């Protein structure tokens, strides 16, 4: 089933084509450097950029696959949770495309493609399915810029919440700490890069909110601990905001820009990354203990690109004798391939939406209000 995926929930614009679970083409544009100028995502700018980019990316995606729009059988769009203005650009694009290719009576199967609104978080959790078979029942850990959630996943399309962050998400803890260090947005990638050159001090930052029986998280104290640490040790922060390309150029460029602060910053980042990863591992381990029938641990979301997080969660899975499943780093951050992958599975199960599909803003649960074909 040829499925187009559309992703515009935050600051990454993506369009992808998937057929029978395999990725055919993928076009993406990151707005990160633009938002880095403001220290974080500016919603109004994000919406305008999605609006500007979607059409050209769609055309390039079809060209990459060598296909015509008429071949598309399902259009899957991330409908939330996310920035409402950003979501509306993607949902409107998807609706327009479906209507243009087959008319609005999509639920009656009138010959045009079906429309499927996809939960962005569920798409993250299943993204690894593009690269390897998934195993269920599973415990899912979703760690992104807006969410830190643990789930019980008895089967591929079922998702039951076990725990969540009570304040900041793990990715947010990285982005806010990075700002205190004068590192560019998105902070997780910058801190992860520097951390590979540093030595972690396990006692430097707290493992917050672990002395309780819940599967919830709290990361806001960690960010405060970093702010206080930088106030005491100014050598842990860059003297002025670092340009995103400096870190992308690698270690030598970072050393040239940071001078003798490089090592102190690398050590500080290594300690912080370890504190986040260990906190995630402690609660995930508890979730696995509470669900002894688990066959796999699924790690997903932008923070799953973190090397230390991947290693510690892999150790956690192996300590519990379950399979460890994580997408390759490029599929961890926001992308349209995961949206197309989940959308295709839903469409194959007969689930779709009509043209009254709603976008769901951050903080609200995405309803399972599918129509059944």
Q: What does the binding site for ligand KG4 look like in residue numbers (CB under 6 A)?
A: 10, 144-146, 171, 174-175, 186-189, 192, 301-303, 305-306, 333-334
CB of 258 to Zn ion, least distance (A): 30
Tokens of 333: 């951050």
Hunting for tokens 């909110």 — which residue is that?
209
d(CA 21, CA 337): 10
Strand 74-80, strand 2-7: pairing: parallel
Does residue number 334 form part of the binding site for Zn ion (CB under 5 A)?
yes
CB closer to ligand KG4 out of 76 and 322: 76
CB closer to Zn ion out of 11 and 334: 334
d(CA 14, CA 56): 11
Tokens of 321: 């004798």
CB of 319 to ligand KG4, least distance (A): 22
| Residues in 138-157 that interact with Zn ion by CB under 5 A | 144
Q: For 147, how many CA atoms within 13 A lie in the half-sphere containing its CB?
A: 28
d(CA 345, CA 300): 18
CB of 332 to Zn ion, least distance (A): 9
CB closer to ligand KG4 out of 102 and 146: 146
Q: Which does 236 bind (CB under 5 to 8 A by kind): ligand KG4, Zn ion, none?
A: none
Hunting for tokens 């799953």 — which residue is that?
304
CB closer to ligand KG4 out of 297 and 338: 338
Number of residues that bind Zn ion (CB under 5 A): 2
d(CA 146, CA 360): 14
Concatenating the DSSP letter of every residue in 189-215 gives: HHHHHHHTTS---TTSS--TT-SSSSS
CA 224 to chain centre: 24
CB closer to ligand KG4 out of 175 and 344: 175
CB of 231 to ligand KG4, least distance (A): 22
CB of 93 to ligand KG4, least distance (A): 19
Q: Which H or E run contains 343? A: helix 336-348
Q: Which does 146 bind (CB under 5 to 8 A by kind): ligand KG4, Zn ion, none?
A: ligand KG4
Q: Which does 175 bind (CB under 5 to 8 A by kind): ligand KG4, Zn ion, none?
A: ligand KG4
CB of 144 to Zn ion, least distance (A): 4
Binding site for Zn ion (CB under 5 A): 144, 334
């Amino acid at each position: 089933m040829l499925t187009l995926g559309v992703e515009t929930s935050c600051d990454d614009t993506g369009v992808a084509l998937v057929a029978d679970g395999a990725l055919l083409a993928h076009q993406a544009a990151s707005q990160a450097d633009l938002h880095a100028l403001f220290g974080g995502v500016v919603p109004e700018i994000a919406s305008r950029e999605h609006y500007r980019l979607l059409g050209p990316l769609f055309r390039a995606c079809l060209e990459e696959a060598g296909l015509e729009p008429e071949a598309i059988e399902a259009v899957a769009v991330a409908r939330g949770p996310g920035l409402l203005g950003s979501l509306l650009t993607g949902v409107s694009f998807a609706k327009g495309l479906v209507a243009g290719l087959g008319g609005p009576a999509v639920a009656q199967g009138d010959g045009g493609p079906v429309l499927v609104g996809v939960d962005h978080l569920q798409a993250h959790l299943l993204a690894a399915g593009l690269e390897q078979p998934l195993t269920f029942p599973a415990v899912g850990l979703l760690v992104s810029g807006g969410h830190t959630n643990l789930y019980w996943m008895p089967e591929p399309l079922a998702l039951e919440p076990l725990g969540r962050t009570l304040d900041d998400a793990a990715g947010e803890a990285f982005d806010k700490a990075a700002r205190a260090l004068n590192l560019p947005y998105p902070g997780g990638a910058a801190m992860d890069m520097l951390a590979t050159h540093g030595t972690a001090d396990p006692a430097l930052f707290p493992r917050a909110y672990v002395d309780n029986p819940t599967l919830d998280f709290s990361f806001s104290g960690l960010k405060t601990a970093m702010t206080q640490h930088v106030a005491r040790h100014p050598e842990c922060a860059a003297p002025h905001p670092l340009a995103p390309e400096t870190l992308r150029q690698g270690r030598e460029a970072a050393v040239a820009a940071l001078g003798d602060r490089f090592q102190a910053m690398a050590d500080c980042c290594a300690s912080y990354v370890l504190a986040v990863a260990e906190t995630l591992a402690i609660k995930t381990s508890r979730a696995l203990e509470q669900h002894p029938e688990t066959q796999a641990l699924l790690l997903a979301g932008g923070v799953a690109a973190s090397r230390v997080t991947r290693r510690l969660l892999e150790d956690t899975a192996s300590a519990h004798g379950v399979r460890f499943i994580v997408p390759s780093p490029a599929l961890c951050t926001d992308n349209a391939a995961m949206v197309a992958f989940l959308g295709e599975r839903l469409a194959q199960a007969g689930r779709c939406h009509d043209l009254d599909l709603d976008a769901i803003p951050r903080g609200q649960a995405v309803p399972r209000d599918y129509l059944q074909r």
